[in-house]
Structure 1
Amino acid sequence: MAGVVSSLVILVILLKIGELFQQLPKAILAAVVYVNLQGMVKQFTDIPTLWRRNRVDMVKEGELVVGGGWGLVWVVTLISTLLLNPDLGLVASIAFALLTVIFRTQMPQYSILGQVQGTDIYKPTEEYNQVKQVPGLLIFRSSATLYFANAEMYADALAQKSGIDVTEILSLKKKQKEDTLRKERKDAARNEQEMEPQSQSEGNTEVRMGEGPQPGPAPPHTIILDLSPVNFLDTAGVKTLSNIQKDYGKIGVEVFLAGCQNCVIQSLERCGFFNETVTKARLFSSVHDAVLHSLSLH
């Protein structure tokens, strides 16, 4: 409301009262401008401290308001306005502000969450020593929303943090299945021909066929995606979640979504995320609810 009143006062001055200032000396007008801007000019001394705190935001006390708080956007606006005319300077500052938003959403923090013993609180395992991962579960969270600019990185980070290579596991299972079928065909052929046991060399060959890459540690039976930081989803984000559901489902890993806001659920519905296989039964209001449900099934 204060901003609206100030804007109206400035508008009245520009349209009606401005004519009264035509006869004033420029020195007096300069003094009026300086008195109104001196508080903002004094904040130049805060630049070193703010730069050390956060080089991207350079925000003072969480504010990013011209004249009230300092930010890197404010500095860019000032410099561009001085070097260019005010119109181009403001356009350049708006473009820079949008770039900073995109830059920050492209570099989110991905975390594996663990449970604080005896509570329903889940914190990143990399930051807290007292939290422990729930056995058989993997809880994954991104600090930024999920959209086209970081959708691919979200899936890559999940694979990296979890240590689960879906492609490698599927390839290994396929190879083991082929080896088993090959062995069964050989056994069937021997039985039909009533042949004597194979020679030692053939036996060695069969043993070598049975050998191969051994499966690594068993993957978790459930992955819980904490989507509480996500405030909107676009088509690319929904497609990424669908691919995660499909890919991890191929290796027998269930994927649950926790902490979805209403707007996120609506985006999932509009983009056709739910079907006969993936139902809303996979949605949970909190991570703890998803954990309890998963543990009850296994």
Structure 2
Amino acid sequence: MAFALLTSVPPVFGLYTSFFPVLIYTLLGTGRHLSTGTFAVLSLMTGSAVERLVPEPLEGNLSGIEREQLDAQRVGAAAAVAFGSGALMLGMFALQLGILATFLSEPVVKALTSGAALHVLVSQLPSLLGLPLPRQIGCFALFKTLAAVLTALPRSSPAELTISALSLALLVPVKELNVLLASVLCFTSSLDTRYNVQIVGLLPGGFPQPLLPSLAELPRILADSLPMALVTFAVSASLASIYADKYSYTIDSNQELLAHGVSNLVSSLFSCFPNSATLATTSLLVDAGGNTQLAGLFSCLVVLSVLLWLGPFFYYLPKAVLACINISSMRQMFFQMQELPQLWRISRVDFAVWMVTWVAVVTLSVDLGLAVGVVFSMMTVVCRTQRVRCLALGLAEGTELYRPLRESHKLLQVPGLCILSYPTPLYFGTRGQFRRILEWHLRLGEGGQLTPKTDSPPDAVAEPVRVVVLDCSGVTFADAAGAREVVQLASRCRDAGIHFLLAQCNASVLGTLTQAGLLDRVTPEQLFVSVQDAAAYALERLELTGPKTCTVWV
């Protein structure tokens, strides 16, 4: 019911969303410890979409009938968003796109949930203070809400402020007792009539009639459904993976897409809003000893009893208490910020991804922040491939192993033999860097070989290169642009009198190079399965000087 307030729908629809999706995921999901249902981040995103699609009338002070009509329209909009996100996840399942979970890194997901928790906290301030303020949506909504609250602060309700303060103080030990005490206090003191305290009101018994969401709304909500589908899958898959690793079992990402897609799609027929796995309830489930989805069935029975029999007991529950529950449920998300010092020590890049995503979520919005975080995270990967070094290899003394010449132990370098290792994928983004590095090491120019540079580092080749071995073990893939660069390099080496050898190409890379015309420039005898074989071929077949007259780097 508390998360229904975030979604801008009546509280009873939070109960529906805590029943139908949980029941469906219990049957289809692969996460044994996962608890599904209402989730603050999705509720916040859905609420923003609902407020945009069905805004509050400017005149305010709606009659009872007008309020019911507005609520019905908002429930329909929320159900349409759930239908759209469920359909998108089923489409992703049909295309077997479960691998997309790998593109939402842990820093992005944690920053997203932490930033959304701050949005939830600020959005609940009007309910805590008893201020009937319109909900702010779009970019900078958090700051707009803060400004509106500060402006209207003198008009806050002392009664609701007192209820909120007491609720937050008592909420940490046990929230169920807090709900009971608040309901009894509001009933016995008539706070709703004497002090105009907002209460939950009547919870309709039973279940709603199945109703297909308006298909005419789908084009309007598609832009909202896509980020919600991604957030649902990202949070659920990452949370399921954490507990699967902890308890030594596996999950199926594509099956998770199916489970959450069906649960959102089917539950939308019963007027439910978007749902996913939840951090707080999953943690509570594990702490309570739940090890299977039978715990989900038990929670369904509890919700069912409320819907059928216990609903009237929540009539006098103040909405301020529900706002306090929303804030309390965010504690675990706020605690994620404690990991930042450790993240800084482990990886500055991941720390930057976390901070950029968090700032984007807080200042812009949850969906735009997600987009910024994913794009920035992918940019860091691309940038790191641009900064890789091509390493010259030498023979480790007393072994047959080749290691980078810059290492501290003794390595042997055969004059005229250059062994280079390029440890990154070769694609359109790295082709220019690949060309420059190879030209520098081999001293290739437009007219052939260049003279050595006077400022060459220790791993530069001292004599003119007669044979070059390119170690491709680090080239995990190559595209057409990268493959053509290798073919051009082979041609330039042939023109410069350098024998060009390739070693340790995987089947995919070798196939791409072959399709690009590599075998028109080199013979199959110039392709080797290991660097050792290529170096032995160079020493024996081309009559190069052996290691006995080598250069030793210490």
Q: Is 2:47 aligned against 1:47?
A: no
Q: Superposed, which structure 2 residues align to 1:48-197 within 5 Å?
A: 48-58=341-351, 72-162=352-442, 164-167=443-446, 169=448
Partners of 1:270 and 1:145 in 2: how far apart?
17
Partners of 1:28 and 1:87 in 2: how far apart?
25
Partners of 1:234 and 1:138 in 2: how far apart?
25
Which position in structure 2 is the counterpart of 1:195?
none
Which position in structure 1 is the counterpart of 2:473?
228
- Which stretch shows the higher mean deviation, 8-17 or 260-269? 8-17
Following TM superposition, by how much is the alpha carbon of 1:158 offset from its aligned partner in structure 2, in angstroms?
1.9
Following TM superposition, by how much is the alpha carbon of 1:55 offset from its aligned partner in structure 2, in angstroms?
1.9
Structure 1 residues 82, 217: CA separation in 2 closer, same or farther (over 3 Å shift)?
Answer: closer
2:522 to 273, 278, 297: 278
Following TM superposition, by how much is the alpha carbon of 1:257 offset from its aligned partner in structure 2, in angstroms?
1.0
- Structure 1: 5+ residue runs without aligned partners? 59-71, 173-215
1:268-289 C-alpha deviation (Å, 9 max, x unpaired) = 12222212x4122221111111
Which position in structure 1 is the counterpart of 2:94?
none
Q: Is 2:505 aligned against 1:260?
A: yes
Kept in 1, the 8 Å contact 2:503–2:531? The answer is yes
Kept in 2, the 8 Å contact 1:166–1:251? The answer is no
TM-score (structure 1 length as normaliser)? 0.68
Q: Superposed, which structure 2 residues align to 1:18-57 within 5 Å?
A: 25=319, 27-28=321-322, 31=325, 34-35=328-329, 38-57=331-350
- RMSD (CA atoms): 3.3
Structure 1 residues 106, 27: CA separation in 2 closer, same or farther (over 3 Å shift)?
Answer: farther
Structure 1 residues 28, 130: CA separation in 2 closer, same or farther (over 3 Å shift)?
Answer: farther
Following TM superposition, by how much is the alpha carbon of 1:217 offset from its aligned partner in structure 2, in angstroms?
6.1
% identical equivalent positions:
28
Partners of 1:261 and 1:111 in 2: how far apart?
19
Structure 1 residues 239, 220: CA separation in 2 closer, same or farther (over 3 Å shift)?
Answer: same
Following TM superposition, by how much is the alpha carbon of 1:78 offset from its aligned partner in structure 2, in angstroms?
2.3
TM-score (structure 2 length as normaliser)? 0.39
> What amino acid sits opposite 1:56 in the alignment?
V
Partners of 1:290 and 1:249 in 2: how far apart?
17
Following TM superposition, by how much is the alpha carbon of 1:32 offset from its aligned partner in structure 2, in angstroms?
6.1
- Which stretch shows the higher mean deviation, 234-243 or 76-85? 76-85
Structure 1 residues 290, 170: CA separation in 2 closer, same or farther (over 3 Å shift)?
Answer: closer
Q: Superposed, which structure 2 residues align to 1:237-248 within 5 Å?
A: 237-248=482-493
Task: Please identify which structure carries the higher helix content.
Answer: 2
- Structure 2: 5+ residue runs without aligned partners? 1-29, 32-236, 238-252, 274-302, 452-460, 544-554
Which position in structure 1 is the counterpart of 2:105?
none
1:221-279 C-alpha deviation (Å, 9 max, x unpaired) = 2101111111111122112111211112122111111111111011112222212x412
Following TM superposition, by how much is the alpha carbon of 1:170 offset from its aligned partner in structure 2, in angstroms?
5.6
Following TM superposition, by how much is the alpha carbon of 1:104 offset from its aligned partner in structure 2, in angstroms?
1.2
Partners of 1:129 and 1:159 in 2: how far apart?
27
